Amino acid sequence: LSAAEGLDLDDLADLVQELPHAITAQVMESLDSQHRHRLEAVLSYPENTAGHLMNTDTVTVRPEVTLDGVLRYLRRLGDNVPDDTDSLIVVNREDKYLGILKLAALVTHDTSDTVAEVMTLTVQPLQAATESADVARQFEQNDLISAPVVDEQGILLGRITIDDIVDVIREEGEHQFMGQAGLS
């Protein structure tokens, strides 16, 4: 159980799938209810999909908030801002994905501007059912560092970061190399 402490949710999801059922149950019981719920959400998606790759740790903001309010919120979060956060995800009150607020825009615009005035609408979220190979292609084609993941109704579920995609790309490269060598 101590090996599971400190792991990112997506890495923990990979680990518990390889463990015997009894140990998996112990790991699940050791988590607080919020982390257990998040892990169960990730585990509910097939292994090679965006939903399974995602991490539910995100920073979300509402469109009506001023940039000053966002900066104060981030300062309060302090070290609790997830790693590889290059943008904040803009959602409405029902957690429906609306766009992203890039950190660069946050620090370069007037603090009296609202998130809605500065946010980017061009970043399309990934559907949770998207195959991991397609996710990797989208990261490569769009030079993404992170991308939001949504369900069929557009509700934000989490995000995928570049470190998750590097693992997918590495696995695909190894699979292709083995296939060329006639191995499975």
**Shortest CA distance to 118 belongs to which of 165, 73, 65?**
65
pLDDT in tens, 105-133: 999 999 999 999 999 999 899 999 999 98
pLDDT digits (tens, 9 = 90+) for 73-93: 999 999 888 888 899 999 999
CB 96 within 8 A of CB 81: no
Structure tokens at 35: 């982390």
